[in-house]
Amino acid sequence: MIEAKNIYLAYDENKFIIKKGTFSIKNKEFIFIGGNSGSGKSTLLKSFYGEIPLKHGNLTIDNHKLNNISSKNLKTLRKDIGIIFQDYKLIKEWTIEENIMLPLKINGYAHDVSVVQAEKLLAHVKLSHRKGYYPNELSGGEQQRVAVARALAHNPKIIIADEPTGNLDDYSADVVWNLLKGANEQLGITVVVVTHRVPKNFGIRSRQFKIQDGIIYEVS
Ligand SMILES: Nc1ncnc2c1ncn2[C@@H]1O[C@H](COP(=O)(O)OP(=O)(O)OP(=O)(O)O)[C@@H](O)[C@H]1O
Ligand SMILES: [Mg+2]
């Protein structure tokens, strides 16, 4: 699903954030990525959805080569990816169901199909009673559930999450972990999550990577 061979990532030529990154993530795996603040976790995730270009090496996501990817091919790749951030990144002028419909809008779904899908996902994340609300009217945990619903909306093959529970209390974090587990187990979605704190007794098969001094290690 994700193949990285000797990838180098940098914001400027003189300082590589990731060096010789080589790893392989199979379809339907659940992967945790750890590492100190500033080690390059977010940078690595950004390379997966083409937000920063590769300096060297080869990166393939779901058979799309990221090297010099055209904007047309990037759009196709992003159809397969759902993204979740620590700070939710919801559009505050839109209702929560309009937020969930965003990836559907981008990917050209018919409006009535999107409305039905958004209702289904609101129910899935147990927020049907908040329909018509705006993000600011919800708690942090509820906003993150909207963000999870948005990430699932267009039936992605991969979910990429950057510290999705970083701002949440233990209870809300558990709810988000369970939604991600369900996405992996029931929907067969490959999940790659950056987190400082891997949950204890996670209950499903997963692997852990760690970034240190620009090198990506598998933690056994
Ligand atoms: N847009 C940018 N331009 C230049 N340098 C950047 C940019 N974004 C991040 N960096 C640098 O790249 C390095 C890795 O940053 P990154 O955000 O990937 O770390 P991280 O592991 O996600 O950290 P955190 O746990 O704090 O989120 C840091 O030294 C950071 O200062
Ligand atoms: Mg980060």
Percent of the chain at pLDDT exceeding 70: 100
Which residue owns the Cα nearest ligand 1 atom 2?
A: 11
How far is Cα 195 from Cα 204, in angstroms, rounded to an integer? Answer: 16
Report pLDDT for 13: 81
Probe ligand 1: pick from 17, 32, 49, 51, max atoms within 8 Å of CB?
A: 17
Q: Which-ligand-closest: CA of 37? A: 1
Q: Which-ligand-closest: CA of 39? A: 1
Report pLDDT for 220: 77
| Nearest 10 degrees: Cα torsion 115, 121, 125, 129 | 30
Region 1-80+157-220: CATH code? 3.40.50.300
Confidence of residue 14 (pLDDT cuts 50, 70, 90): confident
Report pLDDT for 65: 94
What pLDDT digit, counting tens, does each position of 88-117 carry?
999 999 999 999 999 999 999 999 999 999
Section 71-94 average pLDDT = 95
Probe ligand 1: pick from 7, 43, 47, max atoms within 8 Å of CB?
A: 43
Q: How far is CA 142 from CA 98, 165, 208, 210, in A?
A: 15, 12, 27, 29
Render the burial of 196-206: b for 16+ CB within 10 Å, e for the rest: eeebeeeeeeb
What pLDDT digit, counting tens, does each position of 20-30 carry?
899 999 999 99
CA 63 to chain centroid, in Å, comes to 18
Section 41-52 average pLDDT = 96
State the closest ligand 1 atom to the C-alpha of 44, by its place in the atom list counted from 1: 18
Q: How close is the Cα of 165 to the center of ligand 1, in Å?
A: 19
Report pLDDT for 57: 96
Q: Where are the domains of the chain?
A: 1-80+157-220, 89-155
Q: Is 214 in the pocket of ligand 1 (CB under 6 A)?
A: no
With 80 as the cut, is the pLDDT of residue 12 above it?
A: yes
